[in-house]
A and B are shown apart, each in its own frame.
Chain A
Amino acid sequence: MTDALLQIEHLSIDLPGPAGPVRVVDDVSFAVAAGRTTGLIGESGSGKTMTATAVIGLLPAGAEVSGSMWWQGEDLVTMAEKDRRRLRGRAIAMIFQDPQSALNPTQTIGRQVGEILRRGGMPKQEVRQKVIDLLDRVGVPDPRTRHAQYPHQYSGGLRQRAMVATALAGSPQLILADEPTTALDVTVQARILALLRRIREEEGMAMLLVSHDLRVMAHVADEVVVMYAGRLCEIGPGREVLSSPAHPYTRALVVSVPAVRSRTAIAEPLPGSPASPADRPSGCPFHPRCAKARAVCRTEVPQMRQVAPGRQVACHFPEET
């Protein structure tokens, strides 16, 4: 892809564990295109959050990273920490899952939204006006009063809006959003998703959205990347992947989502639990839970290959798409 804003190539991450290093992300490659929303789908232990954490450069101490993450001709993996700090919060910003714990309870919302602007040397009065504009844009009512309030005076939905404003303050080209609506009620979730979509369209920025919620993905993601036990399963246009999945795991995820607008039977469940990266099965990591698994699946790791234009899958026996 030529218009890739971020190009991740063969990314692997090892975290120190009690029994030696654990490979939580294994040989992951995908691109985030400028101006598009890329969705990273996975369950617990899939490595989706670690991948996003690596992009923003906030991996826990002792993490070993290999491969590359190309950002405007520079490799984020080998970049010096002081250069990464220059990008963080500015060109690349992050929205966290739980605004309750991501916001500092002892500082006003305005102070936190404006932090990146103050650090950039903007005069105080200008910062104040910019913060009020930002809060207004994300739909915080009465921003002239509310910018001086503290997080506990905000509801959950408003706190998430303040988080979005904080991310926007640095005029980012890429926003990483880790489960941005999981902690929110459905009516609030719908509004935050609409906000993210509107902002992305207005600003033309790219978004990497991390979530286990396929319903959210179906509504927001242009492209999706499905991960399981630290490895890639499937990449492709969101609508196509979620309506005709090529990987048996994606298929299983899709059928287990209960519908609201029609009555569906409870899905035939997958056996077992999501594989842990610390104890990743041999061959295809999904084979112990896969109804289609054959001998080769136990021994050979399937590589990503193209099955249709723009669609890649790592499966020895992919579904017809």
Chain B
Amino acid sequence: MSLIEVRDLVVNFHSRRERRRGRPNAVDGVSLAVRPDETLAVVGESGSGKTTVARCVAGLQTPQAGTVLFDGAPVGRVAKRPPEVRRAIQMVFQDPAASLNPRMTVRSIIAETWRTHRSAAPADRSWDDAIAELLRDVGLDPGVADRRAPSLSGGQCQRVSIARALALRPRLLVCDEAVSALDVSVQSQILRLLAGLRASRELAILFITHDLGVVRQIADRVAVMHQGRLVETATADDLFERPGHPYTRKLLDAALDLEGA
């Protein structure tokens, strides 16, 4: 069964009057599903609606129509979700520095998640020990706990964002362009980390990106969006070897490779 499923999602950012005049939907009838142990990549160009789909899954955006199902049960926007569902879906954003409060230490950023979700807080040991272990899991020195975001590099900030998400033992990680802002030598560190976490923690990942090379490395399945609609969903191997939709072919043709330049 799917961990998360999106059915006939419609989002329109225009006013009701403009909608009646036929202004297009940002997301127009999208349906997709993520299984409990897979990485689904959603790819598309700017304005394709991929981030809006991610925000609906995370409950940060209320769709005009359609449903988001978690474990088969419909869930609304984040404030209306049961605490267990809120805990189970965590998000990692594009800009690593902007997604951490610059005035809080890494320790208090992580501890805040446990103050909000008491049920996920470590019961059998001190929070400091648990924070140190989380930081080690994402490849950071536990000493980072006392530092604040402005003194960390982009890659370190992104690891802290991932540690913060993992602190709540999520079942789905929504990554919106989570490696796009990183230097290429740091990007592979974070991709390795995500791939490793998925294997060790039974984590599903919804990975939003425009970088097809990254998709090929980490995705099990790929959904291609164009102008608010889903044009193709396929396993990663099929999509890259046998693209079915003309738009997918166009995207693949436009992508550059180092080889064959």
A residues apposed to B, CB below 8 Å? 43-44, 156, 185-190, 212, 214-216, 218-219, 239, 242, 252-254, 256-270, 273-274, 289
Contacts and interface: CB of A to CB of B under 8 A. Distances in A.
Given A186-B210, A265-B217, A266-B195, A260 B255 contact: yes
* Interface size range on B against A: 35 or more
Given A214-B258, A265-B217, A269-B189, A186 B212 contact: yes
B218 A262 contact: no
A242 B260 contact: no
Given A186-B210, A242-B261, 19 more contacts: A43-B185, A156-B46, A186-B45, A186-B251, A186-B254, A188-B45, A215-B256, A218-B261, A252-B185, A253-B185, A256-B184, A257-B213, A257-B258, A258-B217, A259-B257, A261-B252, A263-B217, A266-B191, A273-B186
Interface string B182-205: 011111110110010000000000
B216 A214 contact: no
A239 B261 contact: yes
Closest 10 CB pairs of A and B: A258-B213, A218-B261, A215-B256, A185-B45, A43-B183, A269-B189, A273-B153, A269-B188, A260-B255, A187-B254
A254 B213 CA distance: 13
A185 B45 CA distance: 6
Contact of A274 (B185, B218, B237): B185
Nearest to A193: B256
B154 interface: yes
The dominant DSSP class at the A interface is loop
Interface string B40-61: 0000011000000000000000
Contacts of A270: 185, 188-189
Query: What secondary structure prevails in chain B residues at the interface with A?
Result: helix
A44 B154 CA distance: 10
Nearest to A181: B256
Contact of A259 (B184, B189, B258): B258
B161 interface: no
Contacts of B191: 266
A226 to B, nearest CB: 12
Nearest to B255: A260
A228 to B, nearest CB: 10
B155 interface: yes
A273 B184 contact: no
Interface of B: 45-46, 153-156, 183-189, 191-192, 195, 210-214, 216-218, 237, 240, 250-252, 254-261
A100 to B, nearest CB: 12
Q: Which of B192, B212, B258, B260: most chain A Cβ within 10 A?
A: B258
B252 A266 contact: no
A260 B252 contact: yes
Contact of B156 (A214, A216, A268, A273): A273
B185 A215 contact: no
B75 to A, nearest CB: 32
Given A43-B185, A187-B45, A252-B185, A261 B155 contact: no
B216 A259 contact: yes
A264 B259 CA distance: 12
Contacts of B250: 187
Contacts of B211: 258
Contact of A185 (B186, B210, B217, B256): B210
B225 to A, nearest CB: 12
Contacts of B189: 269-270
A187 B187 CA distance: 22
A260 B212 contact: yes
Contacts of B187: 256
Contact of B251 (A43, A187, A253, A254): A187
Max count, chain B CB within 10 A of own CB: residue among A219, A253, A266: A266
B182 to A, nearest CB: 9
A212 B212 contact: no
A258 B218 CA distance: 10
Contacts of B188: 256, 266-270
